[in-house]
Structure 1
Amino acid sequence: MKKILIVLTNTTQYGNTTDPTGLWLGEATEFVDVVETAGYQVDYVSPKGGFVPLDPRSMKYTDTASMARYNSADFQQRALTHSLAPSDVDSADYLAIYYTGGHGVMWDFPDNPELQDLTRAVLRQGGYATSVCHGIAGLLNVKDTNDHYIIDGRNVTGFTTAEEILAGKRKVVPFLNQTIATKHGANFKHRRAYTEYAVQDGQLITGQNPFSAKAVAECLVKNL
């Protein structure tokens, strides 16, 4: 077993607006580049399965490697067009689960029971629950078998309130990751806005913003 499950959003727009959002491309491609180079395989899952939209703003921050993966037939098919549904996934196949970001995840990650089940199962078998940027939303509401939040008492990071204000989305998002993480007992760590930063606390590995995907992947690989 040398596979990692990557979670992507199906959300196409910000809430009830017509403003488009979706996956922040680099948060998937940069992570995948690192783990595949280290010899691990990846699968892609989304809350509904199937089509995964891209946040158009993320295309402004691509590099040659990200565009090469974006243009690959494998990524186009398995990630963006035919992502797996949670019901298609056997948690026993995976060493880790990784929640990507992009603002879309704020609507379809936090309360998805199937993704929460997958996360619990991966942790129970000794694997890692990881995220970057807004992807922390996928971990915020997950509880263990004792009905405790898995982030309670743990060091985590994610897209900060300051970064949300700088992004101009403070009044659009349904909640603030930093606020909910703290409310659920986490010790929310962060550095200066848009600085690369990843935090590990046991089986949890989290990254602060879009520039932290490689740091999360490298930390995961070291542990694996």
Structure 2
Amino acid sequence: MMGKVLVVSTNVEKYDTTDRATGVWLGEVTHFVEEIAKAGYEIDYVSPKGGYVPIDPASLKAANATDWKWYSNDLFKHRALAATLSPEEVNPHDYAAVYFAGGHGAMWDFKNNQQLKQIAETIYADGGYVTGVCHGVVGLVNLIDRHTGKRIIEGKKVTGFSTMEERLNGTKKYMPYLTEDAMTASGGKYKAKLPMKSHVRIAGRVITGQNPPSAKKVGEKLAAALQQ
């Protein structure tokens, strides 16, 4: 199945309840994009408001060679961080998959965004994949399968940033809700493994990763699925 892949990132730069910086977790974009680009797919970038996407500064401290490869690429920085598409500029029929990248900021502007919801639901209705990693998976919780009228993740194996990981990260008390709870409340068969170890779950055309180290594998699994 050919078509482009759409990457969704947050526009939220700080926690709502405390002066702590957030944004997209850079590695959750770059490690995913590395795998999709290697597979030969064109990638577009969108955010809830369009335009500038802040980077969680902690993700720069954790950056490795793959992160720096992409972060030093001017075209990537412009398209993925400085000037992302707005939802109004996206034609969902152009895409074989959508990927919701994480970073704590996603907890505030993904779950209830109706425009992103419509885009992702259309991609899925067209036979495409809906995917996400870490906190980004909250972009999947309200998606409806237009063929069945049920939530897309209902009854499906899913994962995402665990409550244990949130607690260990010292951020649980600042969250408006918890990723694990949101996935479960929407009918997902949520399961996590060891904190900050790569873990990916696949259920048909739904692919989710638990945490930042899972982004690469989500990309690998999606690329493989798209080439079948």
Task: State the alpha-carbon separation in 1 of the partners of residues 24 and 205 from structure 2.
Answer: 24
Match of residue 140 from structure 1: 141
Instruction: State yes or no: 1:182 paired with 2:179.
Output: no
More off after superposition, 67-76 vs 199-208: 67-76
Q: Determine which of 197, 206, 222 is the counterpart of 1:204.
A: 206
Q: State the Cα RMSD in Å.
A: 1.0
Secondary structure (helix, strand or coil) at the match of 2:45 reads strand
What SS does structure 1 have at the residue aligned with 2:218? Answer: helix
Ranges in structure 2 where 5+ consecutive residues have no aligned partner? none
Cα shift readout 1:128-160 (whole Å, capped 9, x = no counterpart): 000010011101122233542211111000000
Residues 29-50 of structure 1, C-alpha deviations (whole Å, 9 max, x = no match): 0110111011111000000000
User: Unaligned regions of 5+ residues in structure 1, if any?
Assistant: none
User: Which residue number corresponds to residue 220 of structure 1?
Assistant: 222
Preserved CA contact (<8 Å) 2:124 2:145: no
Amino acid at match of 1:113: Q
User: What CA distance in whole angstroms lies between the structure 1 residues aligned with 2:149 and 2:109?
Assistant: 21
Using the size of structure 2 for normalisation, the TM-score is 0.96
Query: In structure 2, what is the equivalent of residue 24 of structure 1?
Result: 25
- What do residues 57-101 of structure 1 show as CA deviations (whole Å, max 9, x unaligned)? 111211112112012111111111100001100011111000000
Q: Which amino acid aligns with 1:175?
A: Y
Q: Is 2:92 the partner of 1:91? A: yes
Equivalents in 2 of 1:35, 1:221: separation in Å? Answer: 6
Tell me the matched-pair count: 224
1:73 is aligned to 74
Post-superposition, which runs of at least 4 consecutive aligned residues in structure 1 deviate over 6 A? Answer: none
Task: Describe the superposition over 1:167-188 as per-residue Cα deviations: whole angstroms up to 9, x where unpaired.
Answer: 1000001001111111111100
Secondary structure of the residue aligned to 1:182 is helix
Deviation at 1:18, TM superposition (A): 1.6
C-alpha separation between the residues in 1 aligned to 2:136 and 2:183? 12
1:36 pairs with 2:41: no
Q: Does 1:116 align with 2:117?
A: yes
Paired AA for residue 116 in structure 2: L
Task: Give the TM-score normalised by the residue count of structure 1.
Answer: 0.98
